[in-house]
Amino acid sequence: EPEVTQTPSHQVTQMGQEVILRCVPISNHLYFYWYRQILGQKVEFLVSFYNNEISEKSEIFDDQFSVERPDGSNFTLKIRSTKLEDSAMYFCASRGWGQSNQPQHFGDGTRLSIL
Amino acid sequence: KQEVTQIPAALSVPEGENLVLNCSFTDSAIYNLQWFRQDPGKGLTSLLLIQSSQREQTSGRLNASLDKSSGRSTLYIAASQPGDSATYLCAVLNDRGSTLGRLYFGRGTQLTVWP
């Protein structure tokens, strides 16, 4: 069964450094998402992306964050200057064409640790 | 703003028991509701998706019901097995604003099934 793949599985970065998290969504999917889960907290929506542009973003997704689909397969999340509170598990998700009755499929996540 | 609550937060049962996990949401204007399974350190596996017009969905030993007007869903697990041990998350997609799929998650129910 096709799946969403994320790399790396674990990223350790010094505070203030830039980090790029990578995702390969399911190949025929058109809608892409990033969520994050701080340890012990709920999974929180960050951003949705369709047709090469952001369609919605949450209050968490400030100017330090950006997303890009640099080619036909990858979907990336960049954090420009990381803070301690950015430490979390980051999940990428994708959804197929059609109405919102299609489920979102999630990757295994990237655990980001900011030192 | 949509708030999703899951009870109980944790559940520990012997193998073979039938289980009910509960999910409630504050805004009944939802498009659909998804139940996920999360294993430790892993991503989210979609188990069932119920459309707002549906009352229940079944997959194997899992049955999910939805009462949209009262803002409730239950996940029923029949004849539980140790392999069912995981955290079960409930997430709703609001039927307001963007239909591209901003999911609102509960904190989850951590299930342990012992032999």
pLDDT in tens, B49-104: 999 899 999 999 999 999 999 999 999 999 999 999 999 999 998 876 555 678 99
**CB–CB contact B44 A42 (8 Å):** no
CA–CA gap between residue B36 and residue A105 (Å, rounded) = 10
Beta bridge partner(s), residue B91: B34, B105
Pick from A42, A50, A101: CB nearest B100? A50
B115 vs A40: which has the higher pLDDT: B115
Contacts of B30 in chain A (CB under 8 A): none
Select the highest-mean-pLDDT range: A9-18, A102-111, B97-106: A9-18
Interface contact A58, partner B, CB < 8 A: yes
Tell me which of A42, A67, A91 to substitute to probe the interface with B (most B C-beta atoms closer than 10 Å).
Answer: A42
Pick from B44, B100, B104: CB nearest A55? B100
Tell me which residue has tokens 């830039």.
A18
What end-to-end distance do the CA atoms of chain A give, in Å? 37
Q: What is the dihedral of CA A55, A60, A64, A69, to 10 degrees?
A: -30
Contacts of A95 in chain B (CB under 8 A): 101
Q: Which residues contact B68 (CB under 8 A, 6 or more apart)?
A: B28, B30, B52
Kindly state the percentage of chain A with pLDDT values over 70.
97
pLDDT in tens, B36-62: 999 988 889 999 999 989 999 999 999
Do residues A109 and A6 touch, judged by C-beta distance below 8 A?
A: yes
Instruction: Detail the DSSP E strand segments found in B52-108.
Output: 56-59, 62-67, 72-77, 86-94, 103-105
CA–CA gap between residue B11 and residue A114 (Å, rounded) = 32
How distant is the Cα of A80 from the closest Cα of chain B, in angstroms?
24
Tell me which residue has tokens 């520990």.
B12
Kindly state the percentage of chain A with pLDDT values over 90.
76
Q: From the CA atom positions of chain A, what is the Rg in Å?
A: 13
Mean pLDDT of B19-47: 92
**CB–CB contact B100 A105 (8 Å):** no
**CB–CB contact B91 A43 (8 Å):** yes
Cβ neighbours, 10 Å, residue B104: 22
Closest CA to A83 of A44, A23, A38: A38
Mean pLDDT of A78-102: 88
CA–CA gap between residue B91 and residue B31 (Å, rounded) = 11
Interface contact A24, partner B, CB < 8 A: no
Q: Are strands B109-114 and B86-94 parallel, antiparallel or unpaired?
A: antiparallel
pLDDT surpassing 80 at residue A90: yes
Q: Which two tokens stand for residue A37?
A: 């889960």
pLDDT in tens, A18-31: 999 999 999 888 89
